[in-house]
Chains A and B, each alone.
Chain A
Amino acid sequence: MNDWPLWEVFIRSRNGLDHKHVGSLHAADWQMAIENARDVYTRRNEGVSIWVVESRHIHASDPEEQDTMFESARSKVYRHPTFYDIPDEVGHM
């Protein structure tokens, strides 16, 4: 037997929050993936909404390129509020 395709499961724990990756499972199709995700990942009211995505559709950045990939953000300290000097007397800004 060949394995059923692999799916990644994302769950919104309550309205107002993002869907978050919780794990993966095998299923023949998306309906089965959602039903199985409900049975394994929400047995204790962990969710109000489920997304499933077939794992082969996910593309990822290369961890070996991590340094160069995220380098440009690291050098831009002026994107953070603490980079700017505002006298205390001005109050909260």
Chain B
Amino acid sequence: MTLVDLQKRFDEKIEAEVKIEPKDWMPDGYRKTLIRQISQHAHSEVVGMLPEGNWITRAPSLRRKAALLAKVQDEGGHGLYLYAAAETLGVSREELIDELLCGKAKYSSIFNYPALSWADIGAIGWLVDGAAIMNQVMLQRTSYGPYSRAMIRICKEESFHQRQGYEILLTLCRGSDEQKAMAQDSLNRWWWPSLMMFGPHDSESTHSEQSMSWKIKRKSNDELRQAFVDATVPQARYLGLTIPDPDLKWNESTGHWEFGEIDWEEFWQVVKGNGICNRQRLKDRIRAHEEGAWVREAAMAHAEKQRHRRDVA
């Protein structure tokens, strides 16, 4: 088949909502975009374990500790599903991990903010997982089969993450004045970074248009961000907390919440590596990788020895 025919067949599948599978022909740009997006997503799941993992030993009760441990373990699993999906496109796990550890690959900037108080664990579940869910629900319909299947699996697991976070804040908001203040403080710090998770405005987003036409993305950054604000404002009200945005107001005619402008200078600073925790996160990942090296080698040596014994016997 000629390149023109292959391209035509690919376009027809995208048009007809037929998923693209690993061994199907696909344009180079499509493959590269997917590898970049899926691996960034995988790195985010893995780095995302760090701010929360920090609180497992300090959770205020056994119930909270078990829930947080289960959530963090889920995020590790999400990383695995996504790395596996990226690997179907012809990159190795090793290459992907190397790119993260040498600082070349990006991950979601939200994880470069510190989790300072127990209330932050609530805010992360409610807002950060909430924002991630908006994006992931949309990606269940992405055009690449393995990515879509990973997203379906992940979405099934995510909803408890958001609920456990909201429940933490609900408990704090029903507690003492100090506890409520702690919840408000965490909302103040996590609100804007959560809105930044959806990325630059559509007009500024370099890859957006092509990704939409390939149906890798099904909704734009601004659409998703608006849906998140609309879903979250009533939840904040129920908690009795104030969203730190003086421009936030209900628009009767559009049926949406209008909100203020994001500090894009802060956004780009964190993307460029100058956030509060960028250096710490990478340092922690590198240390974990290096300290685990002997385990990986020993397991491989053991497996080879077993294989050898079997062959001799």
Which chain A residues have a beta carbon within 8 Å of chain B's beta carbons?
A: 1-4, 6, 22-26, 28-29, 32, 39-40, 43-44, 60, 62-64
Do the beta carbons of B300 and A4 come within 8 Å of each other?
yes
Jot down 9 A-B pairs with beta carbons below 8 A, ordered by A.
A3-B92, A28-B302, A28-B303, A29-B303, A40-B80, A60-B23, A63-B23, A64-B1, A64-B25
User: With the chains together, A4 CA to B80 CA distance in Å?
Assistant: 14
Residues on the B chain within 8 Å of A6, using CB:
87
Given contacts A1-B94, A26-B93, A62-B23, contact A43 B293 (CB under 8 A): no
**Does B15 count as interface, using CB distance less than 8 angstroms?**
no
Residues on the B chain within 8 Å of A24, using CB:
84, 87
Given contacts A29-B303, A43-B74, A63-B23, contact A2 B94 (CB under 8 A): yes
Which chain B residues have a beta carbon within 8 Å of chain A's beta carbons?
A: 1, 21, 23-25, 70, 73-74, 77, 80-81, 84, 87, 92-94, 149-150, 153, 157, 293, 296-297, 299-300, 302-303, 306-307
Q: How far is the CB of A68 from chain B (nearest CB, A)?
A: 12
Residues on the A chain within 8 Å of B87, using CB:
6, 24
User: With the chains together, A32 CA to B299 CA distance in Å?
Assistant: 9
Q: How far is the CB of B213 from chain A (nearest CB, A)?
A: 22
Residues on the A chain within 8 Å of B80, using CB:
25, 40
Closest partner residue, chain A, to B9 (CB atom): A64
User: With the chains together, A25 CA to B293 CA distance in Å?
Assistant: 18
Given contacts A4-B300, A28-B300, contact A63 B74 (CB under 8 A): no
Closest partner residue, chain A, to B150 (CB atom): A23
In the A-B complex, list the 10 residue pairs whose CB atoms are closest, starting with the nearest: A29-B303, A28-B299, A28-B303, A40-B77, A24-B84, A63-B24, A63-B23, A28-B300, A3-B93, A3-B94
Closest partner residue, chain A, to B94 (CB atom): A3
Residues on the B chain within 8 Å of A44, using CB:
157
Q: How far is the CB of B259 from chain A (nearest CB, A)?
A: 36
Do the beta carbons of B24 and A23 come within 8 Å of each other?
no
| The one of B81, B153, B296 that contacts A1, using a Cβ cutoff of 8 Å | B296
Closest partner residue, chain B, to A29 (CB atom): B303
Residues on the A chain within 8 Å of B24, using CB:
63
Q: How far is the CB of A53 from chain B (nearest CB, A)?
A: 15
Closest partner residue, chain A, to B306 (CB atom): A29
User: With the chains together, A28 CA to B295 CA distance in Å?
Assistant: 11
User: With the chains together, A29 CA to B77 CA distance in Å?
Assistant: 19
Closest partner residue, chain A, to B289 (CB atom): A1
Residues on the B chain within 8 Å of A25, using CB:
80, 84
User: With the chains together, A62 CA to B92 CA distance in Å?
Assistant: 22
Residues on the A chain within 8 Å of B149, using CB:
23
Closest partner residue, chain B, to A6 (CB atom): B87
Not counting A4-B300, A28-B300, a sample of 11 additional A-B residue pairs whose C-beta atoms are within 8 angstroms of each other reads A1-B293, A23-B84, A23-B153, A24-B84, A25-B80, A29-B307, A39-B77, A40-B81, A44-B157, A60-B23, A63-B23
Do the beta carbons of B94 and A23 come within 8 Å of each other?
no
User: With the chains together, A39 CA to B307 CA distance in Å?
Assistant: 24
Closest partner residue, chain A, to B20 (CB atom): A63
Do the beta carbons of A4 and B293 come within 8 Å of each other?
no
